[in-house]
Amino acid sequence: MVVDLAEEKGKEVAKLVGGYFVRADLAIPRDCRKAVERTIDRFGTVDILVNNAGFQHIDNIVDFPEVTWDRMMAVMLNAPFLLTKHVWRFMASKRWGRIVNISSVHGLVASSSKCAYVAAKHGLIGLTKVAALEGGPLGITVNAICPAYVRTDLVETQIDDQARVHNLAPDQVVQKVFLERVAVKRLIEPNEVASLVCYICSEEASAISGSALTIDLGWTAS
Torsion of CA 91, 194, 156, 182, to 10 degrees: 110
Q: What is the per-residue pLDDT across 24-38, written as a single tens digit (0 to 9) for each?
A: 999 999 999 999 999
Q: What is the per-residue pLDDT across 178-216, written as a single tens digit (0 to 9) for each?
A: 899 999 999 999 999 999 999 999 999 999 999 999 999
Is the pLDDT assigned to residue 62 strictly greater than 50? no
Q: Which of 20, 117, 149, 199 is catalytic?
A: 117
The residues spanned by each domain of the chain are 1-44, 45-148+199-221
The conformational region for residue 189 under phi > 0 = left, psi -120 to 50 = alpha, else beta, is beta
What spatial distance separates the first Cα and last Cα of the chain, rounded to whole Å? Answer: 39
CATH topology of domain 45-148+199-221: Rossmann fold (3.40.50)
pTM: 0.92
**Quick check: is 149 catalytic?**
no
Q: What is the per-residue pLDDT across 127-183, written as a single tens digit (0 to 9) for each?
A: 999 999 999 999 999 999 999 999 988 888 888 888 888 888 988 989 988 899 999
Say how many residues make up the chain. Answer: 222
At 198 the pLDDT is: 98
